[in-house]
Amino acid sequence: MHIYLNIVPQAQLDWVRLTTLIEEVNGQRFTDISLNLQLPEGQTLTSTQQHQAEAWSLAVGHPDIIPAERTYLLNLRDTDHLLPGAFRQWAQVIQQHPNCLISLATFDSSIALDLQIQDYLTQHIENRLQTTLHQLVTDRSDTTSAQQLALWGLQNYSIQTNIQSLKYLSQRLRPTGLLLPSMQLFPDIPLVSLQQTLSLLQSATEVIRLHVPTIARQSWTVTTPLRWLSELQMIDLDHLALGWAPLITQYRQQQFNQILNVAGRRQVSTATHLQLLTQIKQTQTPPIHRWSRLGLLRMLSPRVAHQLFY
Amino acid sequence: MKFSLITPYLPSEYDQLLALKTNLMAQTTTDFEWLIAGTLPIDLDQTEWQAPFTIRQVHPKASTVGAARNAAMAVAQGDWLVFVDSDDYLLPTALATVTALEGLKSTTFIDLNQYPTYEPHVSFVNSLTQTSATDTLPKWGGPKRQRLRNRSLNLPADLLTELPTTTPASSAVQNWLTHKYLLFTGEDRFEQFGRQAKITGKILNRQLVEQHHWQFDEANALYPDYHFLTQAMLATPTYLRLADPLYVRVKHNDPINQPSIHQLEDPHRWHHRLAAWQLALVDLPVGPLHVAFSRFTLDRLHRYLYQALATSSETTVADSPALMDQLHDYLQLVDPDTLRELPHNSRQILRAIRRQPRVPQFQINVLVRLRQLNRVIRHRGRGITRLAYNWWFTKLPIKPRTILYESFLGRNFSDSPKAIYNYLEKNYPGRFHHVWVMNPGVSETPAGRSNTKVVKRFGWRYMYYLATAKFQVINMRQPKWFIKRPGTKFLATWHGTPLKHLVFDMDNVASANPLYKSIFYQQSRQWDYLVTANQFSVDVFEHAFMYPTDQMLPSGYPRNDILSAPDKDEQAQQIKRKLGIPLDKKIILYAPTWRDDDYYGVGDYKFTLKLDIDRLKRELGDEYVLVLRTHYFITEHLDTTGFGDFVYNESSYDDISELYLIADVLITDYSSVFFDYAILKRPILYFVYDYEKYGSVLRGFYLNMETDLPGPLLKTNDDILAALHDLPAVTQQYAAAYQRFSQRFNAWEDGHASQRVVDTFFADELHH
């Protein structure tokens, strides 16, 4: 069992956040991992950073993966977080289901983790696993450790065979935050791309879903909408396996609309918003819902749409 | 010793007992003894009974399950008693997991967590070879809504090292994280009572059992457990169920030949059940368990009793006055508050019985009908026609000259029902009213012909004629709710000589409806006659359908009369004209079977047609055209545009017999079409490019594909082309095999099958 953790900064590398992430990794004292940093083009590390990277055993560049049945790749942003025990939980699932795509439930990295965990535990207060754990824990103080323990107690997974389900596509298609089986990676496709996960998903017969969050992240729609848009536009609908083209068309519609919704909340600059509108308008697919932002954009110029939506 | 496994068995269960022994050999611990209790003596010195754990045989005084379990408990030596039935099995880590649980008290009621399935052990073990997953379970056999979706994840012990130093985790927590279980204590002790009220898969402390002298009911053959279980629950303040299932309960999918105790048809079943409940409840003090058991039993009555007692019911309850006496007594014992929890109608019925031991028949009938109506309302009107059939149409007088026909569930106007219809219309015009069942959208129907009506399947008129037509001629199966009325006659024409194993010859039907065998049996009992094409079919149907041979018509298939008709050449010319095929071209008919595993081969659809059409056209296009007859799913994704007038896709053509008639050569594989085509004595080629892959499927065939076929098995396009280029050589080489095949399968096909069927089935009607 081995996990390649490939860190891909979303824009300029945030060294402080990277340090936090590496500390979270090292704090887990899990040995079967290789750390890798895949810097965006044109970026390099300072000599101090290089020294630190060496100390962390953090390789820089394209990860050199040796495929094996229980070897997995996890792409993460430098802004993402790992929850305690993440590696050991994944290792257990990989042990049960080698060579399967593993989809991870996540918390939102832009919201305080404690609050989210508390919310999660409250939502599952009636779960018999949690009540059983309460009976066994003698110290009832509401500490972080107790919360973490409760999350571990609730951890469960499902084996999902409804691969072509639109409802679950956003869980299964994302360039970062999925455990990808190394033997099924497509070497000709960039490792951190929508195309890579889509190709993998098309050839999958089942997906394992780990239901209790083990990482905290934000979706690409929020963090890098332009990059996400180009990933979506890069999908070649003509060369998908049977049944996938209509599904991905719908999925893209949803994602475009979501990009517009999120960007409209002034998450991006005016220029980026305009660029998004222009690029989406160029996409020829007809919208499914006429009165969605995407539908309205078909009838308006990007500039008018910008006035309306932003 | 840690565990004593207790398994009662019947003399007929020797094989499954041996299968269970194989299963137990896979346990990751051997710290247990296995006590098998039954009246059939078994020589445990035989090699097949050798095992790395102790096996002991116990001879009970009586032949009931209760007596067997008691006898085994009396000699058990393990600390814990584990109850395992001979048809069930354990997952390999079951006993080791329980061993690993820390701090188990003798007063803990342990549950290995039952997982229901229809998949027997052998088939489950076979399925494991195809996966690298280590948590595989057999196919779910319980209610759909309760299907196990999420699996609890056990975690490694070193996970706790990641917690800050002020860890709240005790060793009990650590142990729990590695082997998760659910605890039910205090107020929750009797939650999920239904799961607790089954003895199989439960583990109890032996000393506790001995101390209280708990015994199973030896007199009650069907329900020996309730008293034992409730007493055990009373003495165990904690119920512990493992979070992941470790005990697999096999439900029987062949209740006709191999019923489980719960499937045994016994008109006194309710009497036994009530006796067991009464025995249990009378010994329970007032308290939470008394309430829980009352609630559980009242729910059972509410759900299942009324249907059995309704006037319209097919199930028979013997001696209902005695049953009412029993129920009257029982209801005096149940907790009155739980009775108040029942829905109004149900409460009224039970209160009436509680007051007076009499069947409130009217109220029960009303309730049962209201439930049927409610089901229709919940489905927004779906099923309303069926309700009308059930309530009213089946009360109407029978129409003595009406015949209802259905071919392939209304999908087309074809097959033997069509041949019989044509024969009757030709020879006895106006004698009968014909009603054809057709789905909407079918292009070719007999609508507009004299004396003929076409009705939509499951529509109002369909229900009306299904209930009132005196004759039914159907080539597949009638609906399972079909009521065979006295005075009506049912002709099952079936739809082909069997190639793949059918119904009772199938090892396992876990993939289809698990009650398939039982439903099929009930349905086939409603057939008055079954048409057969050859002696081979007679022999197969006798065991595969368990159908009496004296009710089979040894007639040949009416649908094949066209293939022996004196004017078949003229008919062929007409069909060719109808399809727009040039009369000077010869025809290759390609009819491959549908491989459902292609479904998983992502992106493989476009290439599913392994026949090289391009090459066929290049080399044979001047002389031949190709007629395709495939599954619609393949056809829809097949691009034949590049082949111009060489390919004719007739996959949706109604009557395949007409395609046989025009074809000069047939290419097929594992489809049973060749039985019929062979009547024409024309060459048949078998294109079996995936023959090796089909090995396991072929084992489920009645024919030996290597020796019994009238044509060559060809694995490549080269072979196919070579054969097509020199068909006379193929014909010559297979002349003897063809003759043997025809003798075996087509000896009755002389073009007069329709006449023989009509003369027998409509004899009374025609002679009047």
In this prediction, residue B639 carries a pLDDT of 63
Q: What is the DSSP letter of A292?
A: S
Residue in the structure block whose two tokens are 């009911």: B217
In this prediction, residue A142 carries a pLDDT of 58
**CB count, 10 Å around CB of A230?**
12
How far apart are alpha carbons A270 and B710 in whole angstroms?
Answer: 77
pLDDT over 70 (residue A140): no
Is residue A55 a contact partner of residue A170, using CB atoms and an 8 Å limit?
Answer: no
Does any CB of chain A come closer than 8 Å to the CB of residue B157? no
CA distances from residue B316 to A33, A219, B223, B274 in whole angstroms, order as listed: 67, 62, 19, 16
The average pLDDT across B441-452 equals 90
Contact list, A200 vs chain B (CB under 8 Å): none
Which residue from A93, A144, A242 is facing B153, i.e. has the nearest CB?
Answer: A93
Lowest mean pLDDT among A219-223, B198-202, B312-316: B312-316
Which residue from A100, A143, A149 is facing B173, i.e. has the nearest CB?
Answer: A149
In this prediction, residue B608 carries a pLDDT of 56
The average pLDDT across A57-73 equals 93
**CB count, 10 Å around CB of A218?**
19
In this prediction, residue B166 carries a pLDDT of 58
Does any CB of chain A come closer than 8 Å to the CB of residue B130? no
Higher pLDDT, B508 or B666: B666
Contact list, B156 vs chain A (CB under 8 Å): 88, 91-92
Does any CB of chain A come closer than 8 Å to the CB of residue B153? yes
**Cβ pair A88:B155 closer than 8 A:** yes
Q: Which residues contact A307 (CB under 8 A, 6 or more apart)?
A: none
Tell which B residues from 224 to 263 touch A, by Cβ distance under 8 Å. Answer: 243
Residues paired with B248 in a beta bridge: B89, B115
Cα nearest neighbour of A100 on chain B = B133
Is residue B161 a contact partner of residue A29, using CB atoms and an 8 Å limit?
Answer: yes
| % of chain B residues with pLDDT over 70 | 94
Q: In chain A, which segments carry CATH 3.90.550?
A: 2-218
Return the H-helix or E-strand segment holding A211.
strand A207-217
In this prediction, residue A146 carries a pLDDT of 86
The average pLDDT across B505-515 equals 66
Our measurement of the distance from residue B417's CA atom to the centroid of its chain's CA atoms, rounded to an integer in Å, reads 27
How far apart are alpha carbons B378 and B413 in whole angstroms?
Answer: 34
**Cβ pair B168:A202 closer than 8 A:** no
**Cβ pair B156:A153 closer than 8 A:** no
Radius of gyration from C-alpha coordinates of chain A: 21
In this prediction, residue B297 carries a pLDDT of 97
Write down the ipTM of this complex: 0.89
Contact list, A208 vs chain B (CB under 8 Å): none
Closest-CA distance, B249 to chain A, in angstroms, reads 21
**CB count, 10 Å around CB of B758?**
21
In this prediction, residue B64 carries a pLDDT of 93
Higher pLDDT, A224 or B326: B326
Q: Which three-class secondary structure state does DSSP give residue B290?
A: helix
Is residue B6 a contact partner of residue B57, using CB atoms and an 8 Å limit?
Answer: no
Helix pair angle (B121-128, B14-25), 10° resolution: 40
* pLDDT tier, B353 (very low <50, low <70, confident <90, very high otherwise): very high
Would you list the DSSP string of B298-328?
HHHIIIIIHHHHSTT-SS--S-HHHHHHHHH
Does any CB of chain A come closer than 8 Å to the CB of residue B183? yes
Is residue B630 a contact partner of residue B661, using CB atoms and an 8 Å limit?
Answer: no
| The three-state (H, E, C) secondary structure of B488-505, written as one string | CEEEECCCCCCCECCHHH
In this prediction, residue B641 carries a pLDDT of 65
Contact list, A203 vs chain B (CB under 8 Å): 602
The two tokens of residue A227 are 């990059």
With the C-alpha atoms ordered B165, B171, B172, B174, is the resulting torsion angle positive or negative?
A: positive
**Cβ pair B159:A155 closer than 8 A:** no
Which stretches of B637-734 are DSSP H helices? 656-662, 673-677, 695-698, 717-725, 727-733
**Cβ pair B155:A93 closer than 8 A:** no
The two tokens of residue A113 are 């983790």
* pLDDT tier, B232 (very low <50, low <70, confident <90, very high otherwise): very high
pLDDT one-digit tens code per residue, B423-445? 999 999 999 999 999 999 888 89
pLDDT over 60 (residue B601): no
In this prediction, residue B662 carries a pLDDT of 95
The average pLDDT across B93-122 equals 93
**Cβ pair B603:A241 closer than 8 A:** yes
Does any CB of chain A come closer than 8 Å to the CB of residue B131? no
Q: What is the DSSP letter of B610?
A: -
pTM to 2 decimals? Answer: 0.85
The two tokens of residue B750 are 């002389």
**Cβ pair A84:B163 closer than 8 A:** yes
Contact list, A85 vs chain B (CB under 8 Å): 155, 159, 162
How far apart are alpha carbons B477 and B490 in whole angstroms?
Answer: 11
**Cβ pair A85:B162 closer than 8 A:** yes
**Cβ pair B602:A242 closer than 8 A:** yes
How far apart are alpha carbons B481 and A10 in whole angstroms?
Answer: 62
Q: Quickly name the fold that domain B387-560 has.
A: Rossmann fold (3.40.50)
Does any CB of chain A come closer than 8 Å to the CB of residue B167? yes
Q: Quickly name the fold that domain B566-745 has.
A: Rossmann fold (3.40.50)
| Residue boundaries of the structural domains of chain B | 3-256, 269-382, 387-560, 566-745
How far apart are alpha carbons A60 and A6 in whole angstroms?
Answer: 9
**Cβ pair B169:A135 closer than 8 A:** no
Query: Strands, E, within B636-709: which ranges?
Result: 647-649, 665-668, 684-687
Does any CB of chain A come closer than 8 Å to the CB of residue B134? yes
Does any CB of chain A come closer than 8 Å to the CB of residue B156? yes
pLDDT over 60 (residue B511): no
Does any CB of chain A come closer than 8 Å to the CB of residue B46? no
Q: What is the DSSP letter of B643?
A: G
Which residue from A96, A137, A143 is facing B135, i.e. has the nearest CB?
Answer: A96
Q: How many CB pairs under 8 A join A and B?
A: 115
Does any CB of chain A come closer than 8 Å to the CB of residue B637? yes
pLDDT over 90 (residue A19): yes
Contact list, B177 vs chain A (CB under 8 Å): 149, 152-153
Lowest mean pLDDT among A113-117, B28-32, B308-312, B533-537: B308-312
* pLDDT tier, B632 (very low <50, low <70, confident <90, very high otherwise): low
Does any CB of chain A come closer than 8 Å to the CB of residue B396? no
Pick the CATH number of B3-256 from 3.40.1380.10, 3.60.15.10, 2.40.170.20, 3.90.550.10: 3.90.550.10
pLDDT over 90 (residue B167): no
The average pLDDT across B642-660 equals 85
Residues paired with A216 in a beta bridge: A81, A107
How far apart are alpha carbons B14 and B22 in whole angstroms?
Answer: 13
Nearest to B109 by CA among B169, B196, B32, B38: B196
* pLDDT tier, A263 (very low <50, low <70, confident <90, very high otherwise): confident
Contact list, A142 vs chain B (CB under 8 Å): none
Cα nearest neighbour of A24 on chain B = B162
The average pLDDT across B280-309 equals 96
Nearest to B514 by CA among B252, B700, B258, B697: B252
Does any CB of chain A come closer than 8 Å to the CB of residue B171? no
How far apart are alpha carbons B289 and B230 in whole angstroms?
Answer: 8
How far apart are alpha carbons B84 and B200 in whole angstroms?
Answer: 5
In this prediction, residue A223 carries a pLDDT of 87
Q: Which three-class secondary structure state does DSSP give residue A5?
A: strand
How far apart are alpha carbons B314 and B669 in whole angstroms?
Answer: 44
Is residue A213 a contact partner of residue A152, using CB atoms and an 8 Å limit?
Answer: no
| % of chain B residues with pLDDT over 90 | 75
Is residue A152 a contact partner of residue B155, using CB atoms and an 8 Å limit?
Answer: yes
B445 backbone φψ class: left, alpha, beta (φ>0; ψ -120 to 50) = beta
**Cβ pair A129:B134 closer than 8 A:** no
Lowest mean pLDDT among A267-281, B173-187, B603-617: B603-617
Closest-CA distance, B242 to chain A, in angstroms, reads 10
- Phi and psi at residue B404, to the nearest 5°: -105, 125
CA distances from residue B690 to A265, B377, B606, B608, B715 in whole angstroms, order as listed: 57, 49, 17, 11, 7
Q: Is CATH 3.40.1350 what the domain over A2-218 is classified as, yes or no? A: no
In this prediction, residue B606 carries a pLDDT of 39
With the C-alpha atoms ordered B88, B91, B95, B97, is the resulting torsion angle positive or negative?
A: negative
pLDDT one-digit tens code per residue, B239-290? 999 999 999 999 887 777 777 877 778 889 999 999 999 999 999 999 999 9
Contact list, B152 vs chain A (CB under 8 Å): 129, 155-156
Interface residue of A29, A124, A159 to substitute, partner B, most B CBs within 10 Å? A159
**Cβ pair A96:B183 closer than 8 A:** no
Please check whether the two domains, B3-256 and B566-745, share a CATH topology.
Answer: no
pLDDT over 70 (residue B575): yes
pLDDT one-digit tens code per residue, B464-491? 999 999 999 999 999 999 999 999 999 9
Cα nearest neighbour of B152 on chain A = A156
Closest-CA distance, A289 to chain B, in angstroms, reads 28
Does any CB of chain A come closer than 8 Å to the CB of residue B168? yes
Please give the torsion angle defined by the CA atoms of residues A131, A136, A139 and A144, in that order, rounded to the nearest 10 degrees.
-60
Closest-CA distance, B625 to chain A, in angstroms, reads 29
**Cβ pair B150:A132 closer than 8 A:** no
The average pLDDT across B342-351 equals 96
Mean pLDDT of chain B: 91
Q: What is the DSSP letter of B704?
A: -
